[in-house]
Amino acid sequence: MPPEKNWGCSWPEQKPHRGADLDQAQAEATLEKAKPVPLGGRAALRRGLRPLRLPGLALLTALIVGAIFIIVTDEQILAAAGNFFSDPLGFFTLTLGKIAWAYAALIQGAVSNPLDIIAGLFTYITTGDNSTFLRSLRPISESLVRATPFIFAGLAVGLGFRAGLFNIGAEGQLIMGGLFSVYVGYAFTGLPIFIHLPLALAAGFLGGALWGFIPGFLKARVGAHEVINTIMLNWIAILFSRWILAGPLSRDGFVPISPNVLPSAALPQFFPNPIRFHAGFFLALGVAYLVWWFLFKTTAGFELRSVGANPSAARAAGMNIGRNIILAMVLSGGLAGLAGTIDVLGWRYNMGVDFAAGVGFDSIAVALIARSHPIGIIFSGLLFGMLRAGTKQMEAIAHVPVDIVFILQALIIMFVAAPEIIRLLYRIRVERGVEEAVLTRGWQQK
């Protein structure tokens, strides 16, 4: 893990040596703002935590607005509001009670109920039976399991953003990755796990990379816009998966679903059945670190970011724009492919037609919240995983429809993307030198 002071972008060790000094100076100037200021002690800690302030307030504000929305759409509360003047106390207790109940369910579903953990621990110590204890930890495990594909797909979209590309195609790449890995997972028999598992993972990466290569190649060669092509490829992948899961890749029966992958291709799980937590999460952490290292510590990563930050300067410095676009789309697609793979090999073990379920689209939000920083994406991915697990519990216990998660997501992105709203609300002054990252460049092609 990088130290906190590297939260922004860090200065690459190797400088690119191609191109004239003047152009290089221009390219350096583009990234100059991102250079971290060396700091020590508490100031460093405060500086390190500062990037969390706006997202934190954004999350808080989104939850408050979400609560208001839950209140105004609750028929019981609306009825009580009708009797507001005769019974104001009843209205307030009902409203506060409902909100507290709903958000308690959210937290219980996302983290877990501390009372359950204590009770489970007590049983474990006294009787040696750990099943209650493990069950009480299930919500955390669920959150981590759901966060894992978000981290991978978020890294995919984030890497694209860093190279100035808007990859809406994570959904399709994720499906292709899942299909490739599920095929390798069940069709290649008789391999030991240390060959089969890496092979299945590599196949997943390859499937996504292939689906990312097409728009990357087209953009580099003929300038066709990647947003349109990735949207088209999403639909093609969805239809292709429907066909192949009902035909060549289906198991016997009427439900279009693939056969299960063999145990030798499955990612190891650590706990008995109700806990689905698997090694994929650690893989996600490792890959996030790798992406960070690639983007900020290698020449190739520097080129990629330069092409994203200022294509004209990058071209003047002798960088090959087309090659970098293709590379970025291949890596991005591969990472998205891994997002699908990790679910297949981690806990699903097969693929159905509703496989992707919008993870690819939501990963755009994951990357946006983290401002495309790989380490930040770990946290925003975790946030999304927790929201998913939590809102499911919210629906089960407090009867708030699970779709509230989309409303919360939209609000979080809105407040993160428009920090001015948060600054207005909480009267925070504008900080000097904080980069307002350019995320996309519309349709413009340079």
Q: For residues 342 and 363, give the distance between their C-alpha atoms in angstroms, rounded to a whole number.
A: 15
**Candidate list 104, 111, 397, 414; residue touching another protein; CB under 8 A:** 414
Q: Tell me the β-bridge partners of 242.
A: none
**Candidate list 418, 425, 428, 434; residue touching another protein; CB under 8 A:** 418
Looking at the Cβ atoms of 44 and 414, the one nearer to another protein is 414
**Candidate list 227, 307, 378, 394; residue touching another protein; CB under 8 A:** 227
As measured in angstroms, the least distance from the Cβ of 277 to another protein is: 28
**Candidate list 71, 199, 231, 300; residue touching another protein; CB under 8 A:** 231
CA-nearest of 144, 153, 188, 123 to 355 is 153
As measured in angstroms, the least distance from the Cβ of 443 to another protein is: 4
**Candidate list 179, 203, 218, 220; residue touching another protein; CB under 8 A:** 218
**Candidate list 127, 222, 253, 354; residue touching another protein; CB under 8 A:** 222
Q: For residues 192 and 415, give the distance between their C-alpha atoms in angstroms, rounded to a whole number.
A: 49
Strand, coil or helix: 121: helix
319 to 338: interface string for another protein, x by CB under 8 A:
--------------------
Q: Is 79 in the site for another protein (CB under 8 A)?
A: no
Q: Is 441 in the site for another protein (CB under 8 A)?
A: yes
Q: Which two tokens stand for residue 96?
A: 């506060």
Alpha helix stretches (DSSP H) within 223-279: 226-246
As measured in angstroms, the least distance from the Cβ of 73 to another protein is: 6
**Candidate list 13, 32, 129, 403; residue touching another protein; CB under 8 A:** 403
Looking at the Cβ atoms of 112 and 173, the one nearer to another protein is 173
CA-nearest of 440, 391, 413, 401 to 146 is 391
Please answer whether residues 321 and 220 qualify as being in contact, where contact means their C-beta atoms are separated by less than 8 angstroms: yes
Q: Is 89 in the site for another protein (CB under 8 A)?
A: no
Strand, coil or helix: 382: helix
**Candidate list 20, 68, 73, 431; residue touching another protein; CB under 8 A:** 73
Q: Is 233 in the site for another protein (CB under 8 A)?
A: yes
Q: Is 134 in the site for another protein (CB under 8 A)?
A: no
Looking at the Cβ atoms of 262 and 404, the one nearer to another protein is 404
Please answer whether residues 95 and 78 qualify as being in contact, where contact means their C-beta atoms are separated by less than 8 angstroms: no
Start-to-end C-alpha separation, the chain: 35
User: Could you tell me how many helices (H) and strands (E) the chain has, helices first?
Assistant: 18, 0
What percent of the residues of the chain are helix, what percent strand, and what percent coil, each to the nearest 5?
70, 0, 30
Q: Given the rule CB under 8 A, which of 45-53, 92-100, 361-369, 374-382 is the region that contacts another protein?
A: 361-369
Amino acid at 274: P
Q: Is 243 in the site for another protein (CB under 8 A)?
A: yes
User: In Å, what is the CA distance from 3 to each residue of 6, 45, 433?
Assistant: 6, 10, 20
Return the DSSP state at 5. Answer: G
Residue keyed to tokens 């946006």: 368
Helix or strand holding residue 27 (H, E):
helix 21-32
Q: Given the rule CB under 8 A, which of 28-36, 187-195, 265-273, 396-404 is the region that contacts another protein?
A: 396-404
Q: For residues 191 and 395, give the distance between their C-alpha atoms in angstroms, rounded to a whole number.
A: 43
Q: Given the rule CB under 8 A, which of 180-188, 279-287, 318-326, 437-445 is the region that contacts another protein?
A: 437-445
CA-nearest of 262, 150, 123 to 197 is 262
Q: Which two tokens stand for residue 152?
A: 């991978």
Looking at the Cβ atoms of 23 and 226, the one nearer to another protein is 226
Q: Given the rule CB under 8 A, which of 54-62, 97-105, 335-343, 405-413 is the region that contacts another protein?
A: 405-413
**Candidate list 14, 401, 428, 434; residue touching another protein; CB under 8 A:** 401
Q: Which two tokens stand for residue 79?
A: 């009825």
Q: Given the rule CB under 8 A, which of 177-185, 239-247, 293-301, 313-321 is the region that contacts another protein?
A: 239-247
- Using CB under 8 A as the criterion, which residues of the chain lie in contact with another protein when the complex forms? 73, 166, 214, 218, 221-225, 227-229, 231-233, 235-236, 239-240, 242-243, 247, 361-362, 364-365, 368, 401-411, 413-414, 417-418, 420-421, 438-445
